[in-house]
Structure 1
Amino acid sequence: MARLAADENSFIRPSPSAGTLGGVTSTTRDAITVLEAAGYDVVLVETMGVGQSEAAVHASVDCLCVLALAGAGDDLQAVKRGLLELADVLAVNKADGDNEQAARLAAAELRRALPLLAPTREDGPPPVMTVSAATGAGVDELWDCIVEHRRLREASGGLARRRARGRLAWMRVLLERRLLEQFESQPGLAERRAELEHAVEQGQITPESAVDELLSTS
């Protein structure tokens, strides 16, 4: 990131999460649109991790690259299945020094597991690579893989279909967020919600009944 920030041809725009789930903020797609209009032909979206909706990330980008860390407790079991099903490219980082063998083993494990975890993908399981951010090993190959993924999807019409699905998915995400914001802005609702949450914690009312009561009083 330090090298990228010093590059005169790059522009970095931080986006505070503000409690947003899903790995991207509510303004991410707007930022992508503005940057593309400004002439940036490559827009990299670094997520803050993933929350409850990996689809929010997937709907925002042309290629979803998932980074795993071998040797740091981030093996196959630590990578969420939803991410594996949506990933276009997987890269196991820290493939250097004493950790290089562990990274290669983790990549091999992912390659074996992916056909079983996402057997219905029309373009087959995503490629799995090893990289080292410290030494730069594998980074050029990773970028070539991402470029080739875009070329193939664009040639097949898959890129246009993905962007269309992404626009629709993002509309639904925004609708859910706006409806929740509108609902929670009603006078007195915050106090009543706090009362019902306490009642649910104490076992005095079921979660279903609490939600029904909140909705009926809105």
Structure 2
Amino acid sequence: MTKDKGKIDKLVEGIADGQRRALAQAITLIESTRSDHREDADRLLEQILPMSGKSIRIGISGVPGVGKSTFIESFGMHLIGKGFRVAVLAIDPSSQRTGGSILGDKTRMEILSRQEAAFIRPSPAGTTLGGVARRTREAMLLCEASGFDVILIETVGVGQSETAVAEMVDMFLLLLLPSGGDELQGIKKGIMELADMVVVNKADGDLAPAANRAAAEYHAALGLMRPSSPNWKPRVKKCSALNNEGIDEIWSAIEEFRTKLWESNEIPDKRVKQAVSWMWSEIKESLLLAFKDKPEIDKALEKVESEVISGKIAPATAARKLLNIFLKP
């Protein structure tokens, strides 16, 4: 990538035309950590921003083994069959030792990945809090500018990442297994409170009765929680992603959700708040990077850390000492 304005304009043109190659190149650019690439990325985002915002943004999470990839593939194929274009942004766990990631989503969603109306992009979670790729929000805007109607953001699993994803989507969908009460005990109350819809997957064959019981238990649990919206009470749905059963009912509920919350102005208001929160998140990330990159901090850090470890100074005192060095002209 380069600072050449003409190349950025050409990239914007390709995105507007729905070219998948241009979209992939643009996401690679925004994920780059190089400062010159960041300048290009900012210029790119500024140009595509007016073209974004027309999709429905859905966060999808669930416990390990719940069948997220199978569900997303079945759901995505269903939407394509209805004439929609679908983008999947999958957050992959990064290696804590090497920073590498397991980018296997195109293998896990083999049928969906071959569709012209689908775009699947795995992004390494890196060190971003909660395991959510720092540039997922920007990738989402790029997909919208490229004409994708539905943006699906798949998280690593149930954990801190759910809160981060819920703060960047319109609707949060939680996939659960048909094991009912036992699984409910292992799910943090805060995760359930985030859900706009709970979907019990694998509701087929011998598991069908268990799925019915689980759905009733999850419905009862949601009934004890205060809904986040006055215009929407979280729903519980059942499906078999493997057999493509129940997918249409889930999509119908999502459409109802979007219609109600768009007409009540909740989604537009939510997106405004998310944009402000995104700005502050960027400020915090950028300040931390600038802090660590300052040579004076690099020199003082080891000594100050050793003083904290040995108990010579309190962590708060150490933080103020380093901040004073950072803020010194």
* Shorter-chain TM band: 0.7 to 0.9
2:122 is paired with a residue of what secondary structure?
coil
1:166 aligned residue (274, 283, 293): 274
Partner of 1:111: 219
What is the Cα-based RMSD across aligned positions, in Å? 2.8
Are 1:48 and 2:159 matched, yes or no? no
Q: How does 1:138-149 map to 2 (within 5 A)?
A: 138-149=246-257
Are 1:7 and 2:115 matched, yes or no? yes
Alpha-carbon contact 1:56-1:173 (below 8 Å) kept: no
Q: Distance in 1 between matches of 2:227 and 2:254?
A: 21
Q: How does 1:1-218 map to 2 (within 5 A)?
A: 1-49=109-157, 51-52=159-160, 54-71=162-179, 75-118=183-226, 121-187=229-295, 189=297, 192-193=300-301, 200=308, 205-218=313-326
Instruction: Give the partner amino acid of 1:167.
Output: A
Task: Summarize deviations over 1:113-134 as a string: whole Å, max 9, x none.
Answer: 2233335642353111122222
Q: Distance in 2 between matches of 1:74 and 1:194?
A: 47
Residue 9 to residue 121, structure 1, CA distance change in 2 (3 Å): closer
Alpha-carbon contact 1:65-1:91 (below 8 Å) kept: yes
Length, aligned pairs only: 218
Alpha-carbon contact 2:201-2:239 (below 8 Å) kept: yes
Consecutive unaligned residues in structure 1, runs of 5 or more? none
Consecutive unaligned residues in structure 2, runs of 5 or more? 1-108
Percent of residue pairs bearing the same amino acid type? 42
1:181 is paired with a residue of what secondary structure?
helix
Tell me by how many angstroms 1:139 deviates: 1.7
Q: Which stretch of structure 1 is more off in the superposition, 93-102 or 127-136?
A: 93-102
Alpha-carbon contact 2:232-2:257 (below 8 Å) kept: no
Residue 21 to residue 133, structure 1, CA distance change in 2 (3 Å): farther
Q: Which runs of 4+ in 1 moved over 4 A?
A: 190-206
Q: Distance in 2 between matches of 1:72 and 1:108?
A: 9
Which TM-score applies when normalising by structure 1?
A: 0.83
Tell me by how many angstroms 1:216 deviates: 3.7
Q: Distance in 1 between matches of 2:121 and 2:306?
A: 40
1:45 is paired with a residue of what secondary structure?
strand
Alpha-carbon contact 1:23-1:50 (below 8 Å) kept: no
Q: Distance in 2 between matches of 1:202 and 1:104?
A: 57
Q: Distance in 1 between matches of 2:214 and 2:317?
A: 46
